[in-house]
Amino acid sequence: MPQVRAAVSSDVPRCAELLGILFAQEHEFTANAEAQSRALSMIIGNPELGRIFIAEVDGVIEGMVMLLFTVSTFLGKKVALLEDMVVAPQWRQKGLGSLLLNHAIGFAEEEGLGRITLLTDGDNKAAQQFYRSKGFSLSEMVVFRKSLY
Q: What is the pLDDT of residues 38-73, one digit of tens each?
A: 999 999 999 999 999 999 999 999 999 999 999 999
What 3-state DSSP class applies to 58? coil
CA 76 vs. chain centroid, Å, equals 23
SS3 54: strand
Query: Does residue 103 lie within any of the structural domains?
Result: yes
Give pLDDT tens digits for 6-45.
999 999 999 999 999 999 887 778 889 999 999 999 999 9
77-87 and 116-118 strand pairing: parallel
Return the pLDDT at 10.
Answer: 98
Question: Closest by alpha carbon to 116, among 106, 125, 124, 126?
Answer: 106
The answer as to whether 138 is a domain residue is no
For residue 32, the domain's CATH number is 3.40.630.30
Total of domains in the chain: 1
pLDDT at res. 27: 74
| Cβ(69)–Cβ(80) below 8 Å | yes
Asked if residue 64 is part of any domain, the answer here is: yes
Query: Is residue 95 included in any domain, yes or no?
Result: yes
| Nearest by Cα to 112 from 136, 74, 76 | 76
Digit-coded pLDDT (tens) for 77-92: 999 999 999 999 999 9
Q: Is residue 142, in this structure, part of any structural domain at all?
A: no
Cβ proximity of 147 and 29 under 8 Å: no
Q: Quick: pLDDT tens for 87-138.
A: 999 999 999 999 999 999 999 999 999 999 999 988 889 999 999 999 999 9
In a domain, 149, yes or no: no
101 located within any domain = yes
User: 60 or 1: which carries more pLDDT confidence?
Assistant: 60
The answer to the question of residue 144 being in a domain is no
pLDDT at residue number 104: 98
Q: How far apart are CA 132 and CA 128, in angstroms?
A: 6
The mean pLDDT value of the chain amounts to 95
Residue 77 belongs to domain spanning: 3-119
